Amino acid sequence: MPSDLRTSHLSVVVNTASRTGAAAVGQVTRHLQRAGVDSVDVHPVASGSELPEVLAHAAGSSPDILLVGGGDGSMGCAAELLADTGTALGVLPLGTANDFARTLEIPATLAAALDTVLTGTVVVVDLGRANGRVFLNVASLGLSVEVTQRLTPRLKRRLGQLAYPVATLAAYRHHRPFAARIELPDGSSLELEDLMQLAVGNGRHYGGGLTVSPTASIDDHLLDVYAVEKGRLRDHVSVARLLRSGDLIEHERVHHLTNRAITVTTDRPMPVNLDGEIATHSPATFEVERNALHVVVPRHSRAAQLDGPPLG
């Protein structure tokens, strides 16, 4: 449920290595000072390797809000730190995809996102975990990993959102199908062959605006899982057309299920992509951590409006 927002003490971490991060530091400081925020501590970060340490230092003063500027990787790193604490995460979408911000309906422009931090409300959302590692949006195996490996910082800076379809086309040409076994908490399992991709969604959006499923939500206490079988070229074209709406789950080449946890074993060890970062390998256990993260959203946001089914 939403709660009142306190902004008397903000810590700000801006990943200047993100797509628009370098230009944002001064604007963030000026905007907050003009708004009359009593205490603003700003911490620029020049590289992703420095981010965990700087985030921990910024959170050490127990601010009301830890405001993070960066992409989905930066948000995931902050979420792991702030999980089950009283500090809320404020989101400044400065990356390429910004799918966590899109899920929460946070404005894309920096000034509007800053106004959200000052005038918004705090909600509580779920986190996904893959072998214990946090993901906000989607964890995946297969084609998406190969796409991630081709999404170089240079390509993202040069093409922006267009980098995703360019990298996807290149990955598709060299993709090798795989087999997977999905085990559920009730002891049942599903054997799948000749897969292109397997995705496990905690949030609603991923991959620069694609949708996990039409009913996916970041606070329903469930993971949305889909697996895409290899088919003819026209099958993949028809699936691709349904990615933005999430209606691919109805396609004959797609298997879909929801659960609070699954374990995936593949026919060979495979890297797992967590929100654009390759962070673990199969076999992998995916779980949802209920109501784990406080985050600031606009008052009009439809995110985090569900109570979720009981998990017994």
* 202-223 residue pLDDT tens: 999 988 889 999 999 999 999 9
Mean pLDDT over each residue of the chain, to the nearest integer: 87
Does residue 277 carry a catalytic annotation? yes
State the DSSP H helix or E strand holding residue 7, giving kind and residue range, or none if neither: none
Q: Please state, in angstroms and rounded to a whole number, the distance separating the CA atoms of residues 273 and 257.
A: 19
Determine the Cα–Cα distance for residues 41 and 13; give it in Å rounded to an integer: 8
228 vs 143: CA distance, rounded Å: 10
Q: What's the angle, vertex CA 278, arms to CA 277 and CA 281, rounded to 5?
A: 150
Does 5 have pLDDT greater than 70? no
User: If 0-12 CB within 10 Å is exposed, 13-18 middle and 19+ buried, where does residue 159 land?
Assistant: middle
State the alpha helices, DSSP H only, in 178-259. 233-241
What is the reported pLDDT for 214?
A: 93
Q: Which residues is 297 bridged to in the sheet?
A: 121
Q: pLDDT value at position 132?
A: 96
Nearest residue to 92 (alpha-carbon basis) of 164, 32, 144, 153? 32
Mean pLDDT of 157-185: 80
Residue found under tokens 């700087």 = 54
> Any idea which residue has 């559920």 for tokens?
184
Out of 53, 277, 287, 289, pick the active-site residue.
277
Structural domains in the chain, sorted by start: 9-125+291-297 (3.40.50.10330), 133-289 (2.60.200.40)
| Ranges 60-69, 229-238, 291-300: which has the least confidence | 229-238
| Per-residue pLDDT tens digits for 41-100 | 788 888 778 899 999 999 888 888 999 999 999 999 999 999 999 899 999 998 888 999
**CA angle, corner 168, sides to 163 and 173, nearest 5?**
135
The pLDDT, as a whole number, for residue 4 is: 52
The answer to whether residues 304 and 88 touch, using CB atoms and an 8 Å cutoff, is no
| Tokens describing residue 73 | 């990787």
pLDDT, residue 298, reads: 94
Tokens representing residue 61 in the block = 């003063």
Give the tens place of pLDDT for each residue, 185-207.
999 999 999 998 999 999 999 88
Cis peptide before 283 (omega within 30 of 0): yes
pLDDT at 19: 66
Tell how strand 65-70 and strand 9-15 pair up: parallel
Residue 1: predicted pLDDT: 45
Mapping DSSP onto H, E and C, the string for 126-186 reads EEEEECCEEECCEEEEEHHHHHHHHCCHHHHHHHHHHHHHHHHHHHHHCCCCEEEEEECCC
